[in-house]
Structure 1
Amino acid sequence: MFMKKAIFYMIISAIAFTLLNVFVKSLGQFSVYQIVFFRALGSLVFTFPYLLKKKVPIYGNKKTLLILRSVFGLTSMLLFFLSLRYITMGTAVSIRYIAPIFASIFAVFLLKENIKPIQWLFLALAFSGVLVLKGFDKNLQIEGLLYALISAVFAGLVYITIRRIGDKDHPVVVVNYFMFISTIIGGLLTLRNWITPIGYEWLALLSLGVFGYFAQLYMTKAMQIGETNVITPFKYLEVIFTTVIGLLWLNEAYSLYTLLGMLIIITGLCLNLFYKSTSTSSSSQKS
């Protein structure tokens, strides 16, 4: 019962992330700073009232780490949104999902964790998918690829920072810091190139924060009640949903090599996930 609900939550999360990507892609007339501003401001409408209602200290405990997480997250988000200006949504999302590769590298040096050789093999397989995308898809713009790759690097730093924060701060406090800092910086950077939205544009911009908030909320809910190795692969439905909508709605074109590269990335990540889950279960049973 709980597993079915967890899968349902993860599918909702994937749909919400997909709609966020689609609206960001369709709002190309606005600067990425203005899009970040509305994305963050919309989520603050949910996070601030929640913290006040639950009487959770807004300032948190690990303030330096909370600020670092926010800066890393903001940089990753800006670069990802920027990559959508150059490459298809499905490709950008696939590349962003290789963040665990960089998180693993950072974990070795910053957290002194041990990564098994077979895990490096799976992560190398996932990264080879990016090489397939770049090497065989002649229409893939290098600017978009680099923006998406660097976005994944900073997403990896986000994972490491969140792990350092641990359970010292409430999850909504972590998100609230991220959204607050993103709202301030995004707002300041967009002042020079501000474009006043008209009609439907207001709805599209304001919806960014709603989709982003519920995407994160339902992903968290799914992780809380479901087994990681069963639930997490459903997160990659975002790649499928985004690709299909890109094809049908935004007239994006995907070559066979692009689709193959995306499949290789997801396969490598899933194999690594299954291995980690199996190893954790085995260790728990032995102890």
Structure 2
Amino acid sequence: MFTPTAANPPIAVLLTLCASGFVAGTTLLAKAIGTGALGEPLHPLQISHGRFLFAFLAIGVAMLATRRRIEKPALATHAARSLLGWGGVTLMFAAAAFIPLADATAISFLNPVFGMFFAILFLGETVGRVRWTAAAIALIGMMILLRPAPDSFRPASLLALAAAVALGAELIFIKRLSGREAGLQILFINNVIGLCIASLALLAVWQAPSGPQWLALAAIGLLMAAAQFCFVNAMARAEASFVAPFFYATLVFATLYDFLVFDVRPDAVSVTGATVIIAGAALLAWREARIRT
């Protein structure tokens, strides 16, 4: 029988930071595959398929090793979560091929803000003036990164924004599941459904990956499985509105990875927009910490 995990906000924060580092790694590898650094560029739908395929294999092995049984899964909730997650990941991988990782990550990881909006609508969470202020600050940062001027606007930024909306909505379903089902069961079912969706989409774009691309696809899947494990367990230990802002650390990891591997240095607009977004996240995190002390 499933026993809910006891609340533990510090552990939730640590797990979320680990997840953020892993997710930034998947985006870096997706950029390498999608830009031709490892061979003929692959379509984002194929990269997304590799992510679900190898994550499924990793989590499937864990299920067998622990002899975990599936217990009363909420399949409709799993299906909605998996569809949103697949869409968000695919859009993020697509954005990473066209704009700097720092910008794509900063925009797509507005998902905690959208997650907060959805938490109000569907989870009944109460949001005060400080949280609304933090969300407004983060959205201002988003507008900066979108570079709305005609001579600087990059349409690919909208891919990252759409990813943020999808992943923000996914947070609601993750939270619903994390309080009712075991973490490993949630991950296994998510990746089974996600792999089915990704396999259907792959039929339209398949091309044979190179050897290095296969290795990168496998690494994406393994890193995403580790990130999912950390994040689902974090969500089980604290409220969605508390955990989500710490995922902004992905921006730091993404910027560092992009610099070390592709020698991409963020410009003044990127730094300004990211700083404003982080300021909003920091304010939200500070408010949550104050509530708990």
In the TM superposition, what is the alpha-carbon distance from 1:188 to its structure 2 partner? Answer: 2.0
Match of 1:55 among 67, 76, 81: 67
Cα deviation, 1:41-91, whole Å, max 9, x if unaligned, reads 111112123223333333642111111111111111111111112211111
Q: Structure 1 residues 17-26 or 119-128, which shifts more?
A: 17-26
User: What's the CA shift string for 1:203-230, capped at 9, x where partnerless?
Assistant: 1111111111223334566778899999
Q: Which amino acid aligns with 2:267?
A: S
CA displacement, residues 154-197 of structure 1 (integer Å, 9 cap, x when unaligned): 11111111222342211222222221122122222222321112
Cα drift, residue 15 of structure 1:
3.4
DSSP-derived class of the 1:114 partner: coil
CA shift, 1:6, in A, is 8.1
Q: Which runs of no fewer than 5 residues in structure 1 stay unpaired?
A: 283-287
The CA RMSD measured in Å over matched residues stands at: 3.1
User: What corresponds to 1:108 in structure 2?
Assistant: 120
Q: Distance in 2 between matches of 1:13 and 1:112?
A: 26
**CA distance in structure 2 between the partners assigned to 1:262 and 1:225 by the alignment:** 28
Conservation of the 8 A alpha-carbon contact between 1:36 and 1:182 = no
CA contact (8 A) 1:74 1:178 kept: no
CA distance, structure 2, for counterparts of residue 140 and residue 208 of structure 1: 31
Tell me, what secondary structure is at the counterpart of 2:180?
A: coil
Per mean C-alpha deviation after superposition, the further-off stretch among 239-248 and 4-13 is 4-13
Structure-2-length-normalised TM-score: 0.83
Tell me the TM-score normalized by structure 1. 0.84
State the percentage of identical aligned residues: 23
Distance 1:150 1:86 in 2: 15
Code of the residue aligned with 2:102 in structure 1: it is G
Report the counterpart of residue 120 of structure 1 in structure 2. Answer: 132
Cα distance change of structure 1 residues 18 and 139 upon mapping to structure 2, 3 Å threshold: farther
**Alignment of structure 1 residues 186-265 onto 2, 5 Å:** 186-219=198-231, 235-265=247-277
1:32 to 44, 59, 76: 44
Residue 277 of structure 1: CA displacement?
Answer: 2.8
Query: Which segment is superposed worse, 189-198 or 73-82?
Result: 189-198
From 11, 14, 24, the equivalent of 1:18 is 24
Q: 1:256 to 1:117 in 2, by over 3 A?
A: same
Corresponding pairs, count: 280
For the Cα contact (< 8 Å) 1:60–1:173, is it kept in 2?
no
Question: Higher mean Cα deviation, 94-103 or 122-131?
Answer: 94-103
Q: Distance in 2 between matches of 1:100 and 1:199?
A: 36
Runs of 4+ off more than 4 Å? 2-12, 136-141, 218-235
Sort the Cα spacing of 1:118 and 1:233 in 2 relative to 1 into closer, same or farther, 3 A: closer
